[in-house]
Amino acid sequence: MDSMLAVAMGEANRGEALMVFDWDKAARIIKQRGATSASAGLSGDWDYTGGEIFSAGKPNTVGYTYLASTWATPELNIDGDIIDCFIMESEVPEEWGKDFPEIKWPESALKELA
């Protein structure tokens, strides 16, 4: 998706509820599948929002991802299997803090991986 369309979609959905990547769900799925790598991004906008979040069997906290949107669904990609993976902003655990769109691997998700 090009930048102008993304901006237009954001404006059209201003004030709507924000969907936020669900790190805890992602951790459970990664662990359940025994995945060694995984990526996350927003549907239709992976080029600008997505990135590797799990590599070589470990959480990847380096690199950029932006995983919250009012219009694009946060997704998890494991071996080409794309899974919707989000909670609504009102459900974000308080421990994730106010920077949740840019957070990588909150403690609750790391505990899920253990």
Domain-wise residue ranges, the chain: 19-113
Tens of pLDDT along 29-81? Answer: 999 999 999 999 999 999 999 999 999 999 999 988 999 999 999 999 999 99
Model pTM score: 0.85
| Residue 12: pLDDT over 60 | no
H or E stretch covering 36 = none
Mean confidence (pLDDT) of the chain: 88
pLDDT band for position 83 (cuts 50, 70, 90): very high
User: Alpha-carbon distance 55 to 35, whole Å?
Assistant: 9
